[in-house]
Amino acid sequence: MVSNKMLPDFEQELLNVSSQIDEYLDKSKFKDVFCPEEILHSSFHYLELGGKRLRPAVTLFSCGAVGGDPSKALPAAAAVEIWHNFTLAHDDIIDQDEKRRNGETVHARWNREAKENYGWNDVISNRFGNTVGILTGDVQQGWAVANLIPDLYYSLGIDPKIALKLTYQLGFVTLTHLVEGETLDVLYSKTSLANLNENMIQRMMAKKTGALFQFCGLAGAMIGLNTDDEKNHIVSSLSNFAFMCGTAFQIQDDILGITANEEKLGKPVGSDIIRGNRTIPLLRSFSKANDSQKQLIQNILGNRSASRTEVKDVINLIQDLGGVDYAKDIATSQIKTALNLLNSVPDSKFKKLLSSWAEFMLHRSL
Candidate ranges 134-142, 258-266, 282-290, 324-332; the one touching a second copy (CB under 8 A): 134-142
Query: What DSSP state is assigned to residue 104?
Result: E
Considering only 183, 259, 271, 287, the residue that binds a second copy (CB under 8 A) is 183
C-alpha–C-alpha distance, residues 238 and 334, integer Å = 14
Nearer to a second copy, 2 or 134 (CB): 134
Residues in 36-95 at the binding interface with a second copy, rule: CB under 8 A: 36, 38-39, 90, 93-94
Nearer to a second copy, 125 or 279 (CB): 125
Considering only 80, 132, 280, 327, the residue that binds a second copy (CB under 8 A) is 132
Contact 279, 197 (CB under 8 A): no
**120 exposure class (CB count in 10 Å sphere: 0-12, 13-18, 19+):** middle
210 is an interface residue for a second copy by CB under 8 A: no
Distances from the Cα of 161 to the Cαs of 59, 64, 128, 211, 212, in angstroms?
19, 20, 40, 22, 21
Strands 99-100 and 103-104 come out as: antiparallel
Q: Which of 228, 171, 180 is nearest to 205 (CA)?
A: 180
Contact 338, 244 (CB under 8 A): yes
Name the E strands within 235-364: none
190 is an interface residue for a second copy by CB under 8 A: yes
Nearer to a second copy, 155 or 340 (CB): 155
Q: Which of 359, 88, 81 is nearest to 213 (CA)?
A: 81
Q: Quick one: which H or E segment has residue 281?
A: helix 280-288
Residue 92 C-beta: closest distance to a second copy, Å: 11
Residue 54 C-beta: closest distance to a second copy, Å: 22
Residue 50 C-beta: closest distance to a second copy, Å: 25
Considering only 10, 61, 143, 249, the residue that binds a second copy (CB under 8 A) is 143
Considering only 147, 303, 332, 348, the residue that binds a second copy (CB under 8 A) is 147
C-alpha–C-alpha distance, residues 73 and 79, integer Å = 10
Considering only 160, 316, 336, 365, the residue that binds a second copy (CB under 8 A) is 160
Residues of the shown chain interacting with a second copy in the complex, contacts defined by CB under 8 A: 33-36, 38-39, 90, 93-94, 96, 118, 120, 124, 127-128, 130-132, 134-135, 137-139, 141-143, 145-147, 150, 153-154, 160-161, 163-164, 167-168, 170-172, 175-176, 179-180, 182-184, 186-187, 190
